[in-house]
Structure formats: C-alpha cells, structure tokens
Amino acid sequence: MQAVVWLISGLLAGWLARLVMKERRIGFLADFTLGILGGVSGAWMLRSVGGSVPPAGSPAHLAVAVIGAMVLVGVARLLSRFTRRVKISARSGAVPGMSDLEAYVRRLGKVERRVFNALLRRQTIAQDITESFQEQLTFGQRVSDKIAEFGGSWTFLGLFAAFMLGWIFLNSAQDRPFDPFPFILLNLLLSCLAAVQAPVIMMSQNRQAAKDRFEAQQDYQVNLKAEMEIMSIQAKLDEARELQWKSLLELQNRQMEILSRMEQRLELLERNAE
C-alpha cells in the first residue's frame, strides 16, 4: 500500500510541477521520475532549513514534492541556457566555413528560406495580398464574410427597422394578433438572430486578423528581400569604389613617373645649353 501511495504522489507531483512550469508533455514515466526526484530534493531542502519531513501521501508531502520538482526543472533550464550560450560563443569565435553556412541555412525559417531562394534566383516576391488571400478562402468563409458585410451596412439597418415596424404595426392593428404586446415572438426572433449573427461576425473578424497577419508576413518578406538587395548593392559599390581608388592610384603613379622623366630631360637640356 505504501508503494502505491508513493507511486500516485510521485506521478501527481511531477504532473503538477510540469503544469506550473509550463513544460511540454514528457510522458507518465518521466512525470513519475520527476515527482520522485522532487520529493527527495524537497525533503533534503526541508531538512537543511531545520524542518521535519511530512509523512508520505499527505498533502504537505505532495506540496514539498511539487516544490522540489519545480526547483529541479528550473535548474535544468538554467543549465540548458548556459550550455546553449557556450555553444553560441564557441561558434561565433570560429571561422565560418561551408558547413557553417549550410547549418545557418538549415536553421532559417520557411519564410527566410523563400526570400533567400528568391534573392538567389532574382525572382520577385511581391504580390497582390487581397487576391492571394481570397484564393485561400473556402465557400463557407466567403459566405460568412458576405453575411458579416451585409449585417454591418445601412441597408441591413433599414430593412431591420422596416421589419420591426411592420411586425409591430400588424400586431397592433389586428383584433387577434398572432404576437400581442409585449411581442414575445419578436423578442425570440431577435435573440435567435443575434445568436447566429454574433458567431458569423466573429469568424469574419478572425479572418480579418488572419489577413492582417498574412499582409504583415508579405511585408516582412518584401522588406527582408529589399534589405538583402540593398546590402548586395552596397557591397558592389564598395568593390567598385576600391577598384576606382586602385585605378586612380595607378594613374597618379604614372603621372608622377612622367613628371619625373620630364624633369630629368629638362635638366639634361639645361646642362647641354650651358
């Protein structure tokens, strides 16, 4: 029985610690191991501060195990970040080669790879955002957008007001109206209309947000490609400037040689004249 209590408390402690620390799911065995190690480390920390270890299976023991497991997860995160920084610093100090370039390209995201490919092939990535986004919509999404567009127009408000006034007028003019005052059936219809219209409008707003994200992604691609093109143009200008400086220096050296020769000839002529 004691073993079952330890098993359940360890599994529960590991699961709670993983949820609190927002770790990815790692399986029941890993949760159990984390809970057991958390219970041991929590008991050790409790004893180190002069406290007494609660009995197994009690809520206090579960709390100690959860705290210990959270501490272990935090220490593991710190060690992972430290080793990652060490690897990054080691890579930055090394001379980049072809393997490093291939590894860098592999680490690029899907969008960056697409932009890099378009840059190498001299292709354009700018496109009509509205047309490209409309091509991805399904029939139901198009219908919901049309309904949301019509529901937010003055035409809908005018028709809705005319419908309500006509309903009220018909039920007020008859001796035995089908929906007498206070118009309970009309209230039911309005409630059903609001209940159906609200999700449709929310779906349309979600697609508008998706369209904004799609537009932002397209702008990011265009800006990234433009930045790469500008950097390439700057590199070419720097190379052209260096070549121009070299040609100017060579031209200046030739002019200096010509001037020195002319001075030597003038000196010879002056000597011969004397």
Asked whether 44 and 5 are in contact (CB, 8 A), the reply is: no
Instruction: Tell me the Ramachandran region of residue 180: left when phi exceeds 0, alpha when psi lies from -120 to 50, beta otherwise.
Output: beta
Nearest CA to 26 among 41, 37, 38, 11? 11
Q: What is the value of pTM for the model shown?
A: 0.41
Q: How is residue 182 annotated by DSSP?
A: T
Neighbours of 62 (CB within 10 A): 21
Does the bond joining 182 to the residue before it have cis omega, within 30 degrees of 0? Answer: yes
* Token pair of 79 as six digits: 């060690």
Amino acid type, 168: I
Phi, psi of 179 (to 5 degrees): -140, 80
Give the count of alpha carbons within 13 A of 70, CB side only: 12
Neighbours of 222 (CB within 10 A): 15
- pLDDT of res. 223: 86
- pLDDT of res. 57: 61
| C-alpha to C-alpha distance for 156 and 183, rounded to whole angstroms | 21
- pLDDT of res. 162: 92
- pLDDT of res. 126: 73
Q: Give residues with Cβ within 8 angstroms of 254, minimum separation 6.
A: none
The domain ranges of the chain are 2-95, 122-256
**SS3 state at 169:** helix
- pLDDT of res. 27: 65
| C-alpha to C-alpha distance for 176 and 184, rounded to whole angstroms | 15
Rounded mean pLDDT for each run of 10 residues along the chain, 274 residues in total: 56 66 64 67 69 66 71 74 66 48 66 76 74 76 82 87 89 82 87 86 83 84 84 86 88 89 85 77
Amino acid type, 84: R
- pLDDT of res. 78: 77
